[in-house]
């Protein structure tokens, strides 16, 4: 059972990343090509927000590393986080903060539902 869930989780995570890169071609911070989607509220802190597009920041690898590295010499993590909050607005930030505490049952069906939704989104992005 655990292996199946891990496999579904990996499949959903991969689809999410592919969709973010296709849908948002430029890094939200520096405008370089997007290479991944960063979870603003970490996956470990909120399963509820794991596949919510509002929680995903399209970024290049350089900005992604800076977000995770507090000791970066240029535009550090706090600067990037402040930039994103200012760009997206306090209303967006407050909604995420409120939603992050909502509990969801993350069983196989939960992952399967997200996989199906992400597959449909992937198909529409290819059109």
Residue-wise pLDDT tens digits, 51-85: 999 999 999 999 998 888 755 545 556 688 899 99
Predicted pLDDT at 5 = 82
Predicted pLDDT at 113 = 96
DSSP class per residue in the chain: -HHHHHHHHHHHHHHHHHHHHHH--B-TTT-SBP-EEEESS-TTT-STTTT-GGGEEEE-HHHHHHHH-TT-SSS-HHHHHHHHHHHH-HHHHHHHHHHTT-----SHHHHHHHHHHHHHHHHHHH-
Predicted pLDDT at 62 = 92
Q: Is the pTM of this model over 0.85?
A: yes
Domain ranges of the chain: 2-126
């Amino acid at each position: 059972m655990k292996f199946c869930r891990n496999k579904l989780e990996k499949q959903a995570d991969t689809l999410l990343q592919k969709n973010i890169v296709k849908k948002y071609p430029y890094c939200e911070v520096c405008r370089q090509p997007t290479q991944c989607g960063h979870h603003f509220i970490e996956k470990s802190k909120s399963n509820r927000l794991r596949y919510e597009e509002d929680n995903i920041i399209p970024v290049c690898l350089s900005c992604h590393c800076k977000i995770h590295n507090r000791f970066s010499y240029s535009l550090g993590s706090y600067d990037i986080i402040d930039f994103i909050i200012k760009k997206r607005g306090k209303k967006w930030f407050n909604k995420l903060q409120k939603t992050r505490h909502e509990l969801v049952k993350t069983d196989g069906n939960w992952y399967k539902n997200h996989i199906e939704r992400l597959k449909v989104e992937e198909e529409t992005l290819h059109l």
